[in-house]
Amino acid sequence: GRRGRVLWLVRLQIVLILVCSGGASANSDDGKASLLLEGADAGDKDVYLSHSCIHDEILHQRRRAGRKEYSVMPQVYHVPREKVERVRGRQLLGVSSWRAPRSNVKKPIRIYLNYDAVGHSPDRDCKNVGDIVKLGEPPVPSAPGTPICSPHGDPPLVGDCWYNCTFEDIAGEDKKQRLRKALGQTVEWFRKALAVEPVKGNLRLSGYSACGQDGGVQLPHAYIEDGVANADLVLLVTTRPTTGNTLAWAVACERDQWGRAIAGHVNVAPRHLTAEAETLLSATLIHEVMHVLGFDPHAFTHFRDERKRRRDQVTVQALDEKLGRMVTRVVLPRVVMHSRHHYGAFSQNFSGLELEDGGGRGTSGSHWEKRLLMNEIMTGSVDTRSVVSKMTLALLEDSGWYQANYSMAEHLDWGRNQGTEFAISPCNSWKGAYRCNTTQLSGCTYNREAEGYCPIVSYSGDLPKWAQYFPQANKGGQSSLADYCTYFVAYSDGSCTDVNSARAPDRMLGEVRGSNSRCMASTLVRTGFVRGSMTQGNGCYQHRCTNNSLEVTIVPFINYYITLH
C-alpha cells in the first residue's frame, strides 16, 4: 500500500517511544558555585532567567528574640441565616450548635494594595547610586556599612548586611508603573482563582501589628481606626533591593482568629522591574503571594477542616528507605487526591506529596519538591515556564480558608501518568525520557517538545549518599532542588514547536517544526544525504494521534506518514 511504499522509497527506520501529549518544556534551575559542566560548549544551551525564593530566610530574620512573626486581629464574619436557624434548633435539642458553612458563603478574594511605603524607607530604599542601605538587620556592633552584602563571596552574604546601591536599584516612575501593573494583574489572577469568606464591614488591622517590625511597614493609622473597605487581605508594597536572582519576596504579618492572613508585606526589587523580566515577574508575584495566603509551613499549623477545627495532620515527616533520607510529605485530602490523578499513583504506597528538602533555609520545607513537580510554580525556583497546578490550589483549599477555582490551574506535564513508582522512588530508577546518563549524546526532553542536552556536573566535593547516581561520588545533575537528578534540558534553539526561536530544520533529517511537531529519535536520512558516523539522531517531526494510534509524517512534502500502534 501507499504507507509501505514510503518506507521503501526513503529507506528509513524510526525508533520511537512516544506518548501523545503536550505541555511545557523541560526545566532547569540552580547550580553550584564550584562545579564543572561536562559536555559541549554551553554557548548553545538554554539559559532561562529564574527567580530564587528566599521566603523562609525572610521569616527567619523576623523571628528574632522578642519579635513576633505575625499578629492576630479577630474579624467579624457574616453568619448565613440558614446557619443561625440550625443553631437555634440544635441548642433547643441540646446538641452541638455548629454547622458547616455553606460553600456559597465564599466570595472572590479582594486583595488591597498599599503603595505608601514605596521609596519612603531611607535606610532601606535606594535613592542614589552609592547609597548604602540595609538588607535584613545587620549586626548592631558592626562598623557603619559592614558587613557589606556579597552574593558571590565565599561564603555568600545575602542578608543581614549592607547593600551598595546601583542605578538599577532606584525605583523611578517607569519602574513604579511596571510595579503597579504587575501587582494589579496578580490581584486579578487571585480574584479569579480563590474565594474566601468575606469579612462583615471593613477589614480591621491591629495597632500592635508585626507588619512594622524588623524593617517592615507601619500600618496607616486609618487602617487601625476605621479599617479597610472592600478588602480580605492588605498587601503592603515596598521596592527594596535584593541580591542574586531573587526578584521579590513576601510574608504574612497579620492573621485573623482562624489563622488566615489578612495583611502581608510584598517587596519587589527595582532592578527586575524591566520589560525583559515582565513575564518572569508575573510568575514570581503569584508564587510569592501564594506564600502569604498559606503556602508556608508556619501557616500549616493554622489550617482548618470543614468544621473550622485545627487539622490534626498537614504534613508527615518520616525516614524514607527508598529515598534514603528524611522526607516531609503533605497529606491533606485534596492534595493527595489531585496528586494521585496527576501521577496516576493509585497505590496505597502513595501517601502524600513531597515538600522540598534542598535549597537551604530560604527554600527547604516551603515549596514542592522540584524532582517531582519540576516547573510547577511553587517549587523553589520560578521561571517563565512555571505553571500553577491543581495540587497547589488544592493545598490552599485544604487550609479551610479558601475555595479554589480549579479551572485556573494550568497543564503540568512533568510526571503526568508516570505511576506510583515515579512519585515515591529515586530518579535513578526512572525510565525513558525522564532520565539521561551521558553528556555525549543529545536527546529529547521528557515531553518531546524540544531536543536537549544532558547536563552532568562534577562538583568539588562528594554529593550526599542518596544523590550518588554515578560511580563517581561527586557527579550528578545541575539542580540541588531537583535532587541532582539528570534529565534532558532543552537547547535554546532546540524547540520543535516554536518556529520563531528554533534553528532552521535539518534538511538531511527531513525535519518539520511547528505546533504539531515532536522530538523523536530516528535513523532517517533523506535520499542524497549521508549521516556520517552517527547512525541515530534526534529530529522534529509532525505527528497526530488517531484512534489510539500515533501517526508520524516522515516525508511532509508528499504528505506520507507511518502509523505506530
Query: Would you please indicate which residues are annotated as catalytic (active-site) residues?
Result: 288
Distance CA 364, CA 427 (A): 19
Q: Cα(544)–Cα(224) distance, rounded to whole angstroms?
A: 60
**The pairing of beta strand 475-476 with beta strand 457-459:** antiparallel
Sign of CA dihedral 155, 156, 159, 161: positive
C-alpha–C-alpha distance, residues 327 and 150, integer Å? 32
46-59 exposure pattern, b = at least 16 Cβ within 10 A, e = fewer: bebebbbbbbbbbb
Rg (CA), the chain: 26
C-alpha cell at 97: 450548635
| Cα dihedral 142, 144, 149, 155 sign | negative
**Which stretches does DSSP call E strand in 107-170?**
107-108, 111-114, 132-135, 161-164
Instruction: Confirm if 119 and 173 have CB atoms less than 8 A apart.
Output: no
Question: In the structure grid, which three cell numbers stand for residue 6, read together?
Answer: 514510503
Whether residue 495 contacts residue 502, with contact meaning beta carbons closer than 8 Å, is answered with: yes
* SS3 state at 523: coil
Following CA atoms 219, 225, 230, 236 in sequence, which dihedral angle do they give, to the nearest 10 degrees?
A: 0
Report the C-alpha dihedral over residues 224, 293, 175, 223, rounded to 10 degrees: -10
User: Which CA distances in Å does 99 have to 235, 258, 290, 404, 510?
Assistant: 32, 16, 29, 21, 66
Cβ 474 vs Cβ 60: under 8 Å: no
Alpha carbon 365 to its chain centroid, in Å, reads 13
Residue 426 preceded by cis peptide, ω within 30 = no
Ligand-binding site membership of 543 (annotated): no
Amino acid identity at 84 = V
Is position 367 annotated in a ligand binding site? yes
Give, in order, the Cα–Cα distances in Å from 108 to each of 84, 190, 237, 408, 508: 23, 8, 22, 13, 55
User: Given the C-alpha cell 522530538, which residue does it identify?
Assistant: 519
How are beta strands 161-164 and 132-135 bridged, if at all?
Answer: antiparallel
Cα distance between residue 155 and residue 125, in whole Å? 25
Q: How many CB atoms are located within 10 Å of the residue 303 CB?
A: 22
287 marked ligand binding residue: yes
> Are 70 and 210 spatial neighbours (Cβ–Cβ below 8 Å)?
yes
Whole-number Å distance between alpha carbons of 377 and 368: 9
From the list 314, 288, 286, the residue with the least C-alpha distance to 299 is 314
Known binding positions: 287, 291, 367
Known binding positions for Zn(2+): 287, 291, 367
